[in-house]
Amino acid sequence: RKEVEQDPGPFNVPEGATVAFNCTYSNSASQSFFWYRQDCRKEPKLLMSVYSSGNEDGRFTAQLNRASQYISLLIRDSKLSDSATYLCVVTLSGGYNKLIFGAGTRLAVHP
Amino acid sequence: SAVISQKPSRDICQRGTSLTIQCQVDSQVTMMFWYRQQPGQSLTLIATANQGSEATYESGFVIDKFPISRPNLTFSTLTVSNMSPEDSSIYLCSVEANLNTEAFFGQGTRLTVV
């Protein structure tokens, strides 16, 4: 079983749609949780951290369920510029930020 | 934040040769990380590079194949040795600003081995 699992997609949605991505992680000792965005042929960049209480940043909402070891990302009012691959990332305890990446979910927003 | 300059951005290499990838950071960082991203796959950590000590390699990666240097707190190199077509991938270096916070990545090196 992969340490971080995501639906690879692609998700093809029209502009203005709401889309949700899910992610599960296998290690209950995981400490920190993130969503990164990776554009085609570019490096990953942090989209947002994920907290147990849930957090929102504009059109983006992230939630964490530690009991179910489940992370989600909701994008409202999709824009063409949201087209990218979204990577679910967890870190493990151990004194440094060892990132474990999911394979990513591809999103394609069309006019 | 941290700005990382990684080079080369891409290369096409003959099998059996070696390629050294460089990463320069605009600030001093304790740890630098080297990842590989194969086509359509997630990023996989190769090794963690500490200044002044030998790199720590993840399972499946060995120093003879991927030697790493970390001569100071702003610079690191990763060498892909005795390359084969299976080494064709994107290689990325990364640093973190503080523990368990945002990670910053170099622009990546797209390697094709023929």
Q: Would the CB atoms of B41 and A103 count as touching at under 8 Å?
A: yes
Residue B52: per-residue pLDDT:
81
Nearest to A87 by CA among A70, A74, A108, A106: A106
The predicted-structure confidence for B41-100, as pLDDT tens digits, reads as follows 889 999 999 888 889 999 999 999 999 999 999 999 999 999 999 999 999 999 976 665
Q: Would the CB atoms of B42 and A87 count as touching at under 8 Å?
A: yes
Q: How many CB pairs under 8 A join A and B?
A: 49
For chain A, percent of residues with pLDDT exceeding 70? 95
